[in-house]
Amino acid sequence: MVYEKALNIYTDGSSLPAPRRGAANNEMELLACITALQHAAEHGRINEFERVVIFTDSLYVKDNVPRALFQWPKRKWLSQEGRPIENATLWKDLVRAIKKTPPAS
């Protein structure tokens, strides 16, 4: 699938099997999205796109982006049960990267 008038980005974070060289797989999935958005924000013609769309195979990222944007900051990056959110630093980096890209139409 490709969206017209959008910068379409496909990501796939990965890590090598034990011993993991790049950290845990979820961290690599987040880092792939963060890096892609950071590069997109630096693109000289980013403002020509109506939006940026990321395609990821990571349900961890896909399912938790709304929480990272709206719920976790309000709860000071704690879960409903009061536990710290895993990979909170990377989630915060992703939120910052999302906010620097053009809004969806």
Question: Which domains does the chain possess?
Answer: 6-99 (3.30.420.10)
Question: Taking the model in full, what pTM does it have?
Answer: 0.85
H helical segments located in the chain: 25-42, 59-66, 88-99
Q: Which pLDDT belongs to residue 1?
A: 80
Burial 50-75 (b: 16+ CB within 10 A, else e): eebbbebebebbeebbeebeeebeee
pLDDT tens-digit profile of 24-77?
889 999 999 999 999 998 888 888 888 899 999 999 999 999 999 999 999 999
Residue 69: what residue type? L
- How many CA atoms lie less than 13 Å away from 8 in the CB half-sphere? 5
Nearest residue to 94 (alpha-carbon basis) of 14, 42, 32, 48:
32
Q: Which pLDDT belongs to residue 19?
A: 63
Q: Is the pLDDT of residue 14 over 80?
A: no
Given the structure tokens 């939120």, which residue do they identify?
95
**C-beta separation of 69 from 99 below 8 A:** no
Q: Which pLDDT belongs to residue 67?
A: 97
